């Protein structure tokens, strides 16, 4: 069962990556450049240009269709042509790990309304459903990012500790707190041995 191309919530639609979103995504990046700068890794100088964005979205859609990475772009139902954020699952690992890394970002003007919590709640549900079928989702958050820390805790992620010099962001190696959420209802393949049965 493939990952959904559209996830709907009460106030949002989450659209799977595709090149047709290039102009809206480029605008989103441009208007939030200063807002994202303290939290993003180094980016190419042309990362906000529509042609570069279209190329990245084409590559992202190939990863989505191959099941190795899933990104959805957030739009409000009342402004469907304006991208206001994204949620992505990257570094998907199968086998005994069944895990992915979670990343997310939201427009500066849309913060404080519970929209990211709403989007993440929906994506997590899909990640733990049979469409993506993960057992674990992990996320890394800078200790200074109080909004993101609050989102992690509200969603039930457990704090697994501090990773020193974890990512190069905003001109230096930055520490991150590592969070994880596991799916107790994960359906194991029949051929996996089970030690929890009598």
> What digits encode the pLDDT tens for the residues 60-72?
999 999 999 999 9
> What digits encode the pLDDT tens for the residues 143-183?
999 999 999 999 999 999 999 999 999 899 999 999 999 99
- Tokens of residue 185, six digits: 């209802």
Give the residue-averaged pLDDT of 24-46: 89
Give 150's Cβ-side CA count (13 Å radius). 8
Paired residues of 102 in beta bridges: 89
Do 85 and 116 touch, CB atoms closer than 8 A?
A: yes
The domain covering 6-182 belongs, at the CATH homologous superfamily level, to Gcn5-related N-acetyltransferase (GNAT) (3.40.630.30)
Paired residues of 76 in beta bridges: 12, 79
Paired residues of 14 in beta bridges: 7, 74
- Quote the pTM value: 0.92
Q: Which residues contact residue 85 at a Cβ distance below 8 angstroms, ignoring those fewer than 6 apart?
A: 28, 73, 74, 104, 105, 106, 107, 110, 115, 116, 119
Return the number of other C-beta atoms located less than 10 Å from residue 78's C-beta. 7
End-to-end CA distance of the chain: 32
Return the number of other C-beta atoms located less than 10 Å from residue 191's C-beta. 5
Q: What percent of the chain has pLDDT over 70?
A: 98
Please give the residue that has the higher pLDDT: either 45 or 140: 140
DSSP-derived 3-state class of residue 190? coil
- Tokens of residue 135, six digits: 């057992």
């Amino acid at each position: 069962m493939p990952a959904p191309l559209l996830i709907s919530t009460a106030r949002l639609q989450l659209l799977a990556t595709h090149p047709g979103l290039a102009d809206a995504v480029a605008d989103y990046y441009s208007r939030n450049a200063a807002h994202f700068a303290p939290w993003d890794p180094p980016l190419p100088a042309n990362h906000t240009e529509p042609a570069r964005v279209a190329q990245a979205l084409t590559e992202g859609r190939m990863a989505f269709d191959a099941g190795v990475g899933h990104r959805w772009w957030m739009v409000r139902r009342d402004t469907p042509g304006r991208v206001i954020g994204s949620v992505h699952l990257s570094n998907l690992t199968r086998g005994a790990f069944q895990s992915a890394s979670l990343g997310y970002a939201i427009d500066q003007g849309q913060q404080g309304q519970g929209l990211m919590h709403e989007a993440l709640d929906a994506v997590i549900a899909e990640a733990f459903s049979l469409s993506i079928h993960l057992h674990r989702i992990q996320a890394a958050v800078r200790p200074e990012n109080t909004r993101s820390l609050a989102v992690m805790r509200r969603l039930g992620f457990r704090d697994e500790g501090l990773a020193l010099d974890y990512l190069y962001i905003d001109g230096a190696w930055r520490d991150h707190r590592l969070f994880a959420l596991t799916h107790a209802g994960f359906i194991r393949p029949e051929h996996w041995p089970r030690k929890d049965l009598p």
